[in-house]
Structure 1
């Protein structure tokens, strides 16, 4: 099971804290987390390893970065960082390492770390790696995101998603690290371009008029 594999990874990252790892996985496994669930956590950790991630504070940042998730960007990450600070302090980590984990979590609010901030670059690139997935997996991730916004009508979702895609497409680069750009930039651009086209088609009746 994914959760069993993740718990083994957690125990290797922070030995002696299996109960904390179990609590984190319980939060990530909430059925309402159609996208931001254990699958996303596993994907982030896998992408991070591919980027050459080795430092414990980066792995811990990924474990905590979406721990609190209520579809409130910025607020969720800050709340997650606060939980991380409390839990990791209680686990006996030093002040500097806890502060670095918090800093890395907060970097995922806008995914725009400084070019020379390789630690935050790896964390942010791992979080965005899904953008460069093969098309079928990318589409599945968008559908999962849609399911998390079930309170929105289709028209409201299209407007929300168009803003998200437009913001991403406007970025000079989606990924901070050289490896991230090499691995995922081109595919991510293609996925976003195709999604933009689909959103545009869905928002019209074929004659340019808004869909009802």
Structure 2
């Protein structure tokens, strides 16, 4: 986890350098983000998840029209997370608007707001930047088998409050939904790089 904390900080330094923030505001916002993604109820939606998303973002950002907006959407898309709530994306979008309203122009803020909301349903979109954001959010499904197993364990920990047999039933429904999506990833690049491995991971866990 120490490695992820260092990367989290380095990635925030990169993002903040593109924003009109005072030093104190930059540090305050970093502290708020770090505290949020370190909350005790989180096991997957953590510093690690944001770092992994940003690793993929930096790998593909030259394909984006508005890279900064995608970058900010990644930072804020899970900033509010309660496993027992159903409005986390809405709350996260509202938080983003609250802390960045004096930094972003209204058009950009509304776009990021809408993109954060879109991470709830992962619906098909014609907007390529948003498609990349949604693919990045799901790229964990294409992890190597060790990371994928760790991910499944982390999700299960976040839902430890659910009765185990009910959790298993609901989780299977979610994973089968992903398996049956044709294609799973919206961008040709992610389809080429990750579709096969993701479907393999999903098929294997559903067959256990």
Identify whether the pair has TM-score above 0.5, normalized to the shorter chain: yes
1:39-50 maps to which residues of 2 (within 5 A)? 39-50=48-59
Q: 1:142 aligns with which of 152, 162, 172?
A: 152
The structure number with the bigger radius of gyration is 1
Segments ≥4 residues shifted beyond 3 Å:
none
Q: How many residues align?
A: 196
Structure 1 contact 35–141 (Cα < 8 Å) conserved? yes
TM-score (norm 1): 0.87
CA distance in 1, matches of 2:85, 2:189: 26
Q: 2:191 aligns with which of 171, 178, 181?
A: 181
SS for the counterpart of 1:52 is helix
Which structure 2 residue ranges, 5 or more long, are not aligned?
Answer: none
Which residue matches 1:130?
140
Name the structure where helix makes up a greater proportion of residues.
Answer: 2
Which residue matches 1:102?
113
1:41-190 maps to which residues of 2 (within 5 A)? 41-52=50-61, 55-71=67-83, 75-90=87-102, 92-114=103-125, 116-190=126-200
Alpha-carbon distance, 1:81 to partner: 0.5
CA distance in 1, matches of 2:128, 2:135: 10
> What are the Cα deviations for residues 111-151 of structure 1, in whole angstroms up to 9, with x where unaligned?
1231x311111111111001001111101100110000111
SS for the counterpart of 1:67 is coil
Alpha-carbon distance, 1:72 to partner: 5.1
TM-score (norm 2): 0.88
Alpha-carbon distance, 1:153 to partner: 2.5
Two-structure CA RMSD over aligned residues (Å): 1.6
Which structure 1 residue ranges, 5 or more long, are not aligned?
Answer: 199-212
SS for the counterpart of 1:51 is helix
